[in-house]
Amino acid sequence: MSQTTSPSLPFVQSEMHPSRWGDPALAGPLPDSARGLVELAFGLEDTPGLAEPAVPESGLSDDLLAALRGAVGDGYVLTDDQTRRLRTRGKSTPDLLRMRAGDLSDAPDAVVRPAGHDEIAAVLAAAVEHRIAVVPFGGGTAVTGGLAARREGYAGLVSLDLVRMKGLLAVDEVSMTATLEPGLRGPEAEALLAERGLTLGHYPQSFEYATIGGFAATRSSGQSSAGYGRFDALVVGLRVATPRGELRLGSAPATAAGPDLRQLILGSEGAFGVITAVTVRVRRMPAAKVYEGWRWPSFAAGADAMRTLAQAGLLPTVIRLSDENETAINLARPDDIGDEDAAAGCLMITGYEGEPGAVAAKKDAVTAVLEGLGGTPLGSEAGEAWAHGRFGAPYLRDAMLDVGVLVETMETATFWSNREALYTGVKDALTAELGDGAIVLCHISHVYETGCSLYFTVAAKGADDPLAQWLRAKAAASDAMMAAGATITHHHAVGTDHRPWLTQEIGELGASVLRAVKADLDPTGILNPGVLIPDAPQLASSRPDSSRPDVADV
């Protein structure tokens, strides 16, 4: 195994605009190709320009700031407005709408930038001593309120910004594992691994900004999950700083040494501890990448084909299927997907990555199955177009918000036998709440032998209060997921937004187990208060922020 030192990456790279997604250089107005469609569907309305809202004064006293400086050094406790603004909340549409409305009530009092595990342990010790709430901050791409911790009852709230922790700590090319620091963004981690001909293969749509620690803390799933696995399936080891001390987890590829404690940390969203290093399984960089399109007569027929492949052990690296609406909207020229009736069909993307021989063999086997099931091969154009534009959609969301259109996404998962009921239930709930003029799109992008995820994109004409409008729709859709017996989230995590539904999903006993773990690892409750862990029933009824989000909470 080779130990490596931290690379000389600049520790602050391009920051996102506080109320927009992504690289500011890539932001722009609605492209002409989409403008006509959007105007036809919703009308165009100029929304007020994006101001830089004022940040509330930092509430931390000099003594508390001194305690934090003692942990990380003088230069790494920042209280200036812009740094605090940039560490406020994540990038869900409600986050963007709140920021556009000038609401910075969740701004941290300070941004603390530790250089490593020991400094994080020291920050946590100071936070426990002075009762300061600590919000771990990776890439800031959270979409379920995981960065909007509760601050009442605390002397202050700090963002624990992991931006200085960007090292590739070790590589074991015999076992094919790599140990990475949590603050590495997706492209940074891939660049470091690429120097050794390795890849992680984890490409969520937030890849440009999301970090290794964030992937683990939210159980992220990437677009190539069928081939490389979800992020939690890639993790073999974790190092975690908790207020009670250090956890080092994962000493063997598999173990029968009791319940797997790594699973307690994966998805714990900073509520149990701060992930300070992640050991992941890595693969050789693929020499060949091929993406193709297929057309199916219906969403159900395409989904059945996905199930057949999954259950035959024949999944490509990428496999995704758009429903009829998404197929028609996402293809700029719907007729290109085959024939005149193409807009009525459903587009599937299949992608293969690996050694050329293995890619060819898998592609042949998958092609035979899909053709046998009635799929129409469309060749590489649709597949390459998807691969080329795969990170572009979030930029379009900003451009649509700019012209008064509400756009947001949500996701869930269920077993194959329940897919249709879940799909219909969520779609109906969204349409009933947002009205017939709303457009609801769906795709399947993560499949398993036993089931799949459903990812919904919703667009509607923005109401006078678009935030309240969306929260009502989201609550209705979340209720529909529960009514269908599905999960409240397949990969976006729980945060604060899904927390009101978590107990329904895991039961009161399950919620009480989470509270017990929290009480043990974080007895003073300084870590991400109000995120993930459901309140005890007697507290839940007395606290407004743990009830269902409705207009009163906006």
Ligand X SMILES: Cc1cc2nc3c(=O)[nH]c(=O)nc-3n(C[C@H](O)[C@H](O)[C@H](O)COP(=O)(O)OP(=O)(O)OC[C@H]3O[C@@H](n4cnc5c(N)ncnc54)[C@H](O)[C@@H]3O)c2cc1C
Site residues, ligand X (CB under 6 A)? 21, 90-91, 135-143, 146-147, 162, 182, 204-206, 210-211, 213-215, 217-218, 220-221, 269-270, 274-275, 394, 491-493, 528, 531
CB 240, min distance to ligand X, A:
7
Burial class, 130, CB count within 10 angstroms (exposed 0-12 / middle 13-18 / buried 19+): middle
Distances from the Cα of 495 to the Cα of 95, 267, 270, 489, 498, angstroms: 13, 10, 10, 10, 6
CB 276, min distance to ligand X, A:
7
Q: 73 in helix, strand or coil? A: coil
Answer for the pair 444, 455: CB distance below 8 angstroms, yes or no: yes
Q: Which helix (H) or strand (E) holds 410?
A: strand 405-415
- Between residues 133 and 309, which has the closer beta carbon with respect to ligand X? 133
- Between residues 180 and 378, which has the closer beta carbon with respect to ligand X? 180
- Between residues 31 and 437, which has the closer beta carbon with respect to ligand X? 31
- Between residues 28 and 36, which has the closer beta carbon with respect to ligand X? 28
Residues 6+ apart with CB under 8 A from 218: 142, 146, 267, 269, 491, 492, 493
Among left, alpha and beta (phi > 0; psi -120 to 50; other), residue 160 is beta
Q: Which residue is nearest to ligand X (CB)?
A: 214
CB 228, min distance to ligand X, A:
13
DSSP-assigned beta bridge partners for residue 255: none
CB 519, min distance to ligand X, A:
18
Q: 128 in helix, strand or coil? A: helix
CB 231, min distance to ligand X, A:
7
Q: Looking at beta carbons, which pairs linking 13-18 to residues 24 or more positions away fall under 8 Å?
A: 13/185, 15/86, 16/86, 16/91, 16/140, 16/209, 17/50, 18/52, 18/85, 18/86, 18/88, 18/99
Answer for the pair 225, 309: CB distance below 8 angstroms, yes or no: no
Q: Which helix (H) or strand (E) holds 329?
A: helix 324-330
Answer for the pair 504, 486: CB distance below 8 angstroms, yes or no: no
CB 141, min distance to ligand X, A:
3
- Between residues 76 and 334, which has the closer beta carbon with respect to ligand X? 76
Q: How far apart are CA 87 and CA 459, in angstroms?
A: 27
CB 506, min distance to ligand X, A:
18
CB 488, min distance to ligand X, A:
14
- Between residues 160 and 331, which has the closer beta carbon with respect to ligand X? 160
- Between residues 199 and 205, which has the closer beta carbon with respect to ligand X? 205
> DSSP assignment, residue 357?
H
Helices (runs of H) and strands (runs of E) counted in the chain: 19, 19
- Between residues 163 and 359, which has the closer beta carbon with respect to ligand X? 163
- Between residues 387 and 483, which has the closer beta carbon with respect to ligand X? 387
